[in-house]
Structure 1
């Protein structure tokens, strides 16, 4: 069974929670600024973002910034940057549902601010939004995002969360970043390889383009929650895993 912990509204006044939420705003802002900025730059270069060189550049930028931002925030908020990560960890009892809500709001705010700033700094250029490729229907897009996000969350659990992981030091965030980059190379030309509702939300709001936007909420959240549940139930050794306190323990 999933070890969901509801939490309590008193968490919002705790100094460590306040710091964590603010960190998620900053971390997600910096992640989206670099990721979306790289996509905008690739679109202006020879070949454009749809070329293999443009796709590779975008994938590399996301891999690097994800690795660094997770490392930067790991000791403060966990460096989630992503509602799908937050909910995937909530399924395993690693964050309360109440704090999860605060994190998600912070992530959406950070993404929105980064996208609006990019639009301003580039003279009003539209921020690239995640959309489905021609010939791909919504169901295919959802499945693609489920698989890609499952891969991401499985890697987070295996390299960072699992107490028995043999990954040393800050290597976990780097490996997670590499998975993000690889997934963009694999799924970018088809679904856009969002894996992150916040990453999709900010650019969509800044450009006011909402075509198939729901796909980038349903797919990543289902994939993240499913990966968290599967890894927590099957691969984490029960004797070594202690979930956070439930609501009544606060």
Structure 2
């Protein structure tokens, strides 16, 4: 999962779209003023549709494995600690990954490595936190598994905790750095792909923050 995240972020498609993959990431950047409302709508639709199509594709290719009761469509449900523990765990990991994205992607020396940091964090979370909540951080991912499995156990956790965690991370970041410190909604901006966001790299004179040298041609 960590390697897949890294590959998506640095892929041509990830460089083009910003590689959000997660509707909560998109909503958080919308809260930060980096995305137009219409783009938010279509991004979120794409996340939910893509998640469901990905799961259905996996069912076709790996049918016996995916529908096996021990896998059960890779459903994310609370662990033995219950919904309360799962909520807190999802909130913490979502807060952590969004805070990392904001600090890394807006620090010139760290920005090129944002995707690697994200992959490492995802791999760590799945290894350590999965027994508590299944490690979702993504309502589109959870809903995709819930539909074919017909398992809606505490699904509210996976729609509320990631959103709250990432919005709290955004709030902390802008209190520490200011809203103008958020340059773009792309996780990896150091490329020649068109940017559709309210991108600070295109308008450094507005933000009064000089862009790093590697972005001067973007």
TM range (shorter): 0.7 to 0.9
TM-score (norm: length of structure 2): 0.75
Q: Which moved more, 1:145-154 or 1:197-206?
A: 197-206
Q: Name the residue aligned to 2:3.
A: 64
Report whether the alignment pairs 1:156 with 2:117: no
Q: How far apart, in 1, do the equivalents of 2:15 and 2:122 lie?
A: 21
Q: How far apart, in 2, do the equivalents of 1:87 and 1:131 lie?
A: 23
* 8 Å contact kept, 2:32–2:179: no
Q: Name the residue aligned to 1:199.
A: 141
SS of 1:127's equivalent in the other structure is: helix
* 8 Å contact kept, 1:112–1:206: no
Question: RMSD of the alignment, in Å?
Answer: 2.2
CA separation of 1:232/1:146 partners in 2, compared to 1, >3 Å: closer, same or farther? same
CA separation of 1:212/1:106 partners in 2, compared to 1, >3 Å: closer, same or farther? same
2:76 to 112, 130, 141: 130
Give how far 1:154 is off: 0.7
Q: Which moved more, 1:140-149 or 1:122-131?
A: 122-131
* 8 Å contact kept, 2:90–2:137: yes
SS of 2:74's equivalent in the other structure is: coil
* 8 Å contact kept, 2:85–2:132: no
Report whether the alignment pairs 1:165 with 2:102: no
Number of aligned residue pairs: 180
Q: How far apart, in 2, do the equivalents of 1:90 and 1:176 lie?
A: 20
Return 5+ residue gaps in structure 2 as ranges: 185-196, 200-218
Report whether the alignment pairs 1:145 with 2:90: yes
Q: How far apart, in 1, do the equivalents of 2:45 and 2:182 lie?
A: 32
Q: Name the residue aligned to 1:109.
A: 49
Give how far 1:70 is off: 1.5
1:244 to 191, 195, 198: 198
Give how far 1:64 is off: 0.6
Q: How far apart, in 1, do the equivalents of 2:129 and 2:75 lie?
A: 15
Return 5+ residue gaps in structure 1 as ranges: 1-61, 246-250
Q: How far apart, in 2, do the equivalents of 1:180 and 1:101 lie?
A: 25
Offset from partner CA, 1:125-162 (integer Å, 9 cap, x none): 2312001112x2322211111110001111111122x1
Give how far 1:88 is off: 1.6
* 8 Å contact kept, 1:155–1:179: no
